[in-house]
Amino acid sequence: MDSIYQEVILHHYKYPKNFGHIHKPTHASHKNNPLCGDDISIEIGAENGTVVRVGFTGSGCALATASASILMEHIKGMRLNDVASLTSENLLALIGVSPSPSRLKCALLPLEVLHSTLSHPLTQ
């Protein structure tokens, strides 16, 4: 992994953006990776089909936490249908790394949780 990307990953791991619960989520989901112990929950607050609030909680390795942090920052202000269209290739480009096959699940878990979140609207 290139050192500049390592620095970005470590920064998002130590100081994750959008970490914590949000006020009045409209969508929420949780998943874990039993192979390495990553455990992530995502909450989205959407208004008129647009993401206006995001938050994630949980614990995980540096790659999973950084990936969640970067992804949450990226989706703020996006239309829900555009968020649903995000692919693993999009996320890997955002985080700027090509993880080894054994770490790929760590990097992609936040995207898996995000897609699940979109299919779990909360009744208010």
Which pTM value belongs to this model? 0.91
The residue whose two tokens read 């942090």 is 69
8 within a domain of the structure (yes/no): yes
Residue 35 has pLDDT above 90, yes or no: no
- Determine the average pLDDT of the residues in 51-78: 96
Confidence band (pLDDT; 50, 70, 90) for 110? very high
Q: What is the CATH number of the domain that holds 8?
A: 3.90.1010.10
Q: CA dist 25 to 28, 58, 100, 109, Å? A: 7, 16, 34, 20
pLDDT at 4: 55
pLDDT tens readout for residues 65-89: 999 999 999 999 999 999 999 999 9
Q: CA dist 116 to 28, 62, 65, 97, 113, Å? A: 8, 22, 17, 23, 5
The domain in which residue 37 lies consists of: 3-118
123 within a domain of the structure (yes/no): no
Report which residue type is found at 37: G
60 within a domain of the structure (yes/no): yes
Q: If you ran DSSP here, which 8-state letter would residue 123 be given?
A: P
**Of the candidates 54, 47, 52, 48, which has an alpha carbon nearest to the alpha carbon of residue 71?**
54
- Total tally of structural domains belonging to the chain: 1
Paired with 43 in beta bridges are 28, 55
pLDDT at 102: 84
Q: CA dist 6 to 16, 42, 54, 87, 99, Å? A: 15, 24, 24, 22, 11
Residue 62 has pLDDT above 60, yes or no: yes
pLDDT at 98: 84
pLDDT at 1: 47
